[in-house]
């Protein structure tokens, strides 16, 4: 009888493995600025999310394009998302 419980436990653990292929595909797909702005703050500034954002627009892959995007979009959005953050002088 114990072996039956052990098998059931093993099957449930193996069956509940990590993310599915569909979830991995969505997580690595390009992300538009509008989609990025709609994300929860906890997810918005993660490196994986920023990389998805860069994939959507080739201009963001250049240092100049990224700097312009950072000044025009990223910084204002960060100020909106974190209004009580300490400001540099």
Summarize pLDDT for 42-88 with one digit per residue, the tens.
999 999 999 999 999 999 989 999 999 999 999 999 999 999 877 66
pTM: 0.62
Task: Tell me the pLDDT band of 7, cut-offs 50, 70 and 90.
Answer: low
Residue-number span of the structural domain to which 32 is assigned: 25-81
- From CA 76, how far away is CA 70, in angstroms rounded? 9
In a domain, 41, yes or no: yes
Cα 24 versus chain centre, distance: 11
In a domain, 33, yes or no: yes
In a domain, 86, yes or no: no
Total structural domains in the chain? 1
Query: Is there a contact between 55 and 31 (Cβ–Cβ < 8 Å)?
Result: yes
In a domain, 34, yes or no: yes
In a domain, 40, yes or no: yes
- From CA 54, how far away is CA 86, in angstroms rounded? 27
In a domain, 89, yes or no: no
In a domain, 6, yes or no: no
In a domain, 87, yes or no: no
> 3-state class of 46 per DSSP?
coil
- From CA 29, how far away is CA 11, in angstroms rounded? 31
**Cα→Cα distances 55→50, 60, 74, Å:** 9, 8, 16
């Amino acid at each position: 009888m114990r072996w039956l419980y052990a098998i059931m436990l093993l099957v449930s653990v193996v069956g509940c493995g990590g993310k599915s292929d569909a979830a991995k595909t969505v997580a690595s797909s390009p992300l538009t600025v509008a989609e990025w702005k709609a994300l929860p703050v906890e997810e918005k500034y993660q490196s994986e999310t920023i990389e998805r954002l860069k994939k959507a627009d080739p201009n963001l892959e250049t240092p100049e394009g990224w700097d312009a995007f950072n000044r025009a979009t990223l910084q204002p959005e960060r100020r909106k998302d974190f209004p009580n953050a300490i400001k540099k002088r």
